Amino acid sequence: MRIRIVDAFTDRPFSGNPAGVLLLDSAAFPDAERLQEIATEVNLSETAFAHPLPPGGEADWALRWFTPATEVDMCGHATLATAHVLHTTGRATGTVRFTARCGLLTATAHPDGTLTLDFPTAPLQEAAAPPGLAEALGAEPVSVHDTGEHVGDLLVEVRDEATVRGLAPDFAALVAHARRGIIATAAADDPARGYDYVSRGFFPGVGIDEDPVTGSAHTALAPFWSARLGRDDLTGLQASARSGLVRTALRGERTLLTGNAVTVIDGELLTTL
């Protein structure tokens, strides 16, 4: 079975967020335990598994995502990576429809090589900062929002871009403060540099201390910053060591996430499912 490593939300290798992608030929997924073993072996923030569905239904492929520690409800960068593999290998053209734990998702390929994901917008709800959050994160929150069931993070606004870039969290302490993790964000110091806001994502509760570029987090960042900046179409920079750009377009209950992807490894899984 072919296994590919794809760098997502970037147009050059060794940046963005790497994801494992396995396209299954079966009509159903193997046991979750087996999928988890493979994802743990791959040891990236997410490994995506997809199998084709019968023609004529609401979706073309069934899709699941696993971190090295657990299955997750939603993952943007591994969905982008999966769509990239489907299009570059000729398994799909135009728009691909996926069914996943968070509902129906689509990925549309464009002539310039970018892909646009259509994801549900996170239902933001303002929340009080939990006791100890500032100490665990290493910065005082300006505001805190819950991101809802499928994202499962706390969106934490901090003072400025320099604060986001300088964060050095206490990951062991951070686990206690969200179902999945913490998204730290601030407005860009200089939007002329090509992005409107910055973020970093910390998810130690699912085995990822810091995620390089988190597509699902941008379903919360998009409505948050669109409300503050007065525009529905924005660009976010996730300021991790690898970094990546996500173009976000708020469309009511749906958020469009656009980016590039690059396959960097194409190999063979030498085991049975």
Determine the Cα–Cα distance for residues 87 and 10; give it in Å rounded to an integer: 16
Determine the Cα–Cα distance for residues 152 and 138; give it in Å rounded to an integer: 21
Phi/psi at 120 (nearest 5 deg)?
-70, 140
User: In which element (H, E) is residue 42 found?
Assistant: helix 32-42
Instruction: Select from 253, 217, 254, 251 the least CA-distant residue to 236.
Output: 217
Tokens representing 272? 């049975």
SS3 string of 54-90?
CCCCCCCEEEEEECCCCEECCCHHHHHHHHHHHHHCC
Amino acid at 147: T
Determine the Cα–Cα distance for residues 196 and 238; give it in Å rounded to an integer: 11
DSSP lists the bridge partners of residue 126 as 145
46 is catalytic: yes
In this structure, what DSSP letter does residue 230 have?
A: S
From 37, 46, 140, 210, active-site residue = 46
Decide: 243 and 259 in contact? Cβ < 8 Å.
Answer: no
Catalytic residues: 46
